[in-house]
């Protein structure tokens, strides 16, 4: 029997948080010990949202702009992030990762990918095809939503 849209949506709501908890745990466990969780989350956010502003980071982190500015200042002083003037508005800044900041995230990502591969290693080839196809389909569905929100 074909699942309904509600049944499929329910599966997504049930499974995605479990997967995200695993990914977050792995990524955090692989971060540099001298990097705090808020600093690590800031690097992840700026990596995913290139050119983001302090206000965007503050909103994501649930911090005040002043606290976020101090957090970003530490990352800049450690050569993990840069702050640049926005080309259209000099009062606004754009944040970006340095090559060193990117390398920190890549190390975490590589280890996390290895961990996830190990979790999936017991699955059949057919199950792997199903998972891959499902992820590709979900990316298409939700990428449209993200693009519409960006407007």
Residue 2 domain flag: no
Residues 106 and 137 in one domain: no
Distance, in Å, from the CA atom of 41 to the CA atom of 60, rounded to the nearest integer, reads 9
Average pLDDT of each block of 10 consecutive residues along the chain (151 residues)?
94 94 88 86 93 93 94 96 82 90 92 94 97 95 60 36
Q: Is residue 95 part of a domain?
A: yes
- CB-based burial of residue 40 (10 Å sphere; 0-12 exposed, 13-18 middle, 19+ buried)? buried
Whole-number Å distance between alpha carbons of 127 and 139: 18
In a domain, 39, yes or no: yes
pLDDT value for 144: 65
Range of the domain at 137: 122-151
pLDDT score of 151: 36
Does some domain include residue 7?
no
- Cα distances from 86 to residues 10, 45, 53, 95, 137, in angstroms, run 41, 18, 9, 9, 35
Query: CB within 8 A of 142, min separation 6: which ones?
Result: none
Q: In terms of Cα–Cα distance, which of 59, 52, 37 is closest to 96?
A: 52
The CATH number that applies at residue 45 is 1.10.10.10
Query: Both 83 and 29 in a single domain?
Result: yes
pLDDT of amino acid 89? 73
* Same domain (yes/no): 116, 129: no
Same domain, 38 and 112: yes
| Residues 147, 104 share a domain | no
Q: Tell whether 111 is covered by a domain.
A: yes
pLDDT for position 24: 86
Place of tokens 């002083």: 77
Residue the block writes with tokens 């591969």 = 117
Q: pTM of this prediction?
A: 0.72
Report how many domains make up the chain: 2
Residue 81: strand, helix, or coil: strand
Residue 22 within any structural domain of the chain: yes
């Amino acid at each position: 029997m074909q699942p309904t849209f509600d049944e499929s949506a329910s599966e997504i709501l049930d499974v995605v948080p479990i997967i995200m908890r695993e990914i977050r745990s792995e990524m955090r466990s692989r971060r540099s010990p001298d990097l705090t969780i808020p600093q690590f989350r800031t690097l992840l956010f700026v990596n995913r949202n290139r050119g983001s502003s302090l206000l965007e980071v503050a909103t994501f982190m649930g911090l005040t702009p002043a606290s976020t500015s101090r957090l970003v200042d530490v990352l800049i002083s450690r050569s993990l992030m840069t702050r640049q003037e926005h080309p259209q508005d000099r009062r606004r800044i754009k944040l970006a990762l340095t090559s060193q900041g990117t390398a920190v995230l890549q190390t975490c990502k590589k280890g996390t990918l290895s961990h996830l591969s190990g979790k999936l290693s017991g699955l059949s080839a057919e199950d792997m095809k199903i998972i891959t196809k499902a992820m590709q389909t979900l990316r298409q569905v939700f990428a449209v939503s993200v693009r519409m929100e960006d407007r």
